Structure 1
Amino acid sequence: MTTAAATAKGAATREAILDHAYAIACSAGLEGLSIGALAQGVGMSKSGLFAHFGSREDLQLAVLDDAARRFVAHVFQPALSRPRGLARLRAIVEQWFDWVRHADDGGCLFLAAVGEYDDRPGPQRDLLLRQDRQWRQALAHAVSLAVDNGELLADTDVEQLAFEIYALPLLVHHDAGLYGYESTVARGRRAYDRLIDTYSPH
């Protein structure tokens, strides 16, 4: 096997491990990741799995990075095709509501992880904070573009509005499993429209 082929095989194996680990973490949390169960699930030995991830902590951090990549690809990247301003901001919110659906993977890894690590200092919490701050900054930037376009009041507190918008997908996630996804998202959309209307110059 050539070096390039070995590298490609190693990358594919790592990706398969992360896929399986992500699925486990979505339903059981990052603390629910067991090296033994994961190795068995992907048909590897523990030593083989440790060749890709040197420790359980390394695996947890890699899963968080992978989950962040999935989140950005689902929520933020599609919105970039929309015009700057309210159209793009709405697209972000719509995609975020859709992310909440989680029909296939059992739940939002990030909300579970926040519950696990919000009061536990360490690299997992540090990474969660960095990821969350990046998303808040991206959301605030989308709000600021709408202000620049004149679609929102010139004196809009960008950080405050971003905070208020951020709260909507969290509540939609909370209610969707209890009361049904479609009706909950409909409420989320109405709440978003009402919120944006309070900041509208018209």
Structure 2
Amino acid sequence: MSPRRSAAEARHTKDSILTTALDIASLDGLEGVTIGRLATELAMSKSGVLNHFSTKQTLQLAAVHRVIADFQERVIQPAMRLPEGVQRLLALCDNWFDYLADTGLPGGCLLTAAAAEFDGREGEVHDAVLKSWRSWRSFLRAELLRARLDIDVDQAVFEIVAFGPGLNQALQLHGDHAAIRHAKRAVRRTLGQPDTV
């Protein structure tokens, strides 16, 4: 076997482990991801999993970072192609809500669930989840300031950030897909914009 093929196969195996970990975590939480469970799901040995992710925490952090990258690609990057102001701000929120409705994971948004799962804990995974939410709040605040709306920016950030977990619960717990439109309308009311949804 050539070194190039061996490296490609190793990357494929690592990606398969992480993909399976994300599916499990979205349904059972990040604490539900164990080396033993992954080994069983993927018909691998525990040592085979550990060759790619040395600890459970390493795997949990990789899952968090993968979801953050996906969020950046699907929510933030498309909106940033728009000029700064209300149009971009609404696109960010609409993209976020559309993402929550279809994360590609069987249990919905991993970061939203992880925020509740790790809110009272300490450690690197808690810190990574907290950092991702703080970054999102700061980003929204900066975009609100750029939009120069005649509103209380801190209040608007609080409300917009609260809409996401509320929508995620409506979707995941209640199966209420009409909540996507309600969340988009709520953002427009918070921003004092016409309800065009």
**TM norm structure 1:** 0.86
- CA drift at 1:104: 4.9
Residue identity matched to 1:176:
L
Aligned to 2:121: 120
- CA drift at 1:78: 1.5
1:111 matched to 2:106? The reply is no
Deviations 1:80-130 (A, max 9, x none): 122211111111111111122147522221222122211111111111111
Deviations 1:123-174 (A, max 9, x none): 1111111111111122112212211xxxx12xx4433322221112222222
Q: Which moved more, 1:44-53 or 1:5-14?
A: 5-14
Q: Give matches, 1:14-53, under 5 Å.
A: 14-53=14-53
1:163 matched to 2:164? The reply is no
Aligned CA-pair RMSD: 1.9
- CA drift at 1:2: 4.1
**Structure 2 vs 1, CA of residues 104 and 121 (structure 1 numbering), >3 Å: closer, same or farther?**
closer
Residue identity matched to 1:107:
G
**Structure 2 vs 1, CA of residues 61 and 84 (structure 1 numbering), >3 Å: closer, same or farther?**
same
Pairs aligned (count): 191
Q: Which moved more, 1:18-27 or 1:35-44?
A: 35-44
What is the rounded CA distance, in whole Å, between the counterparts of 1:72 and 1:105 in structure 2?
Answer: 20
Q: Which moved more, 1:107-116 or 1:4-13?
A: 4-13
Deviations 1:168-187 (A, max 9, x none): 22222222342611x21222
Deviations 1:11-45 (A, max 9, x none): 22211111111011000100111212212222321
What is the rounded CA distance, in whole Å, between the counterparts of 1:27 and 1:17 in structure 2?
Answer: 16
Q: Which moved more, 1:57-66 or 1:9-18?
A: 9-18
Please list every run of 5 or more consecutive structure 1 residues that lacks an aligned counterpart in the other structure.
Answer: none
**Structure 2 vs 1, CA of residues 145 and 3 (structure 1 numbering), >3 Å: closer, same or farther?**
farther
What SS is found at the alignment partner of 1:174?
helix
Aligned to 1:99: 99
Residue identity matched to 1:133:
R
What is the rounded CA distance, in whole Å, between the counterparts of 1:167 and 1:50 in structure 2?
Answer: 37
Tell me, yes or no, if the aligned pair for 2:115 and 2:130 is still in contact at 8 Å.
no
Please list every run of 5 or more consecutive structure 2 residues that lacks an aligned counterpart in the other structure.
Answer: none
Identity of aligned residues (%): 36
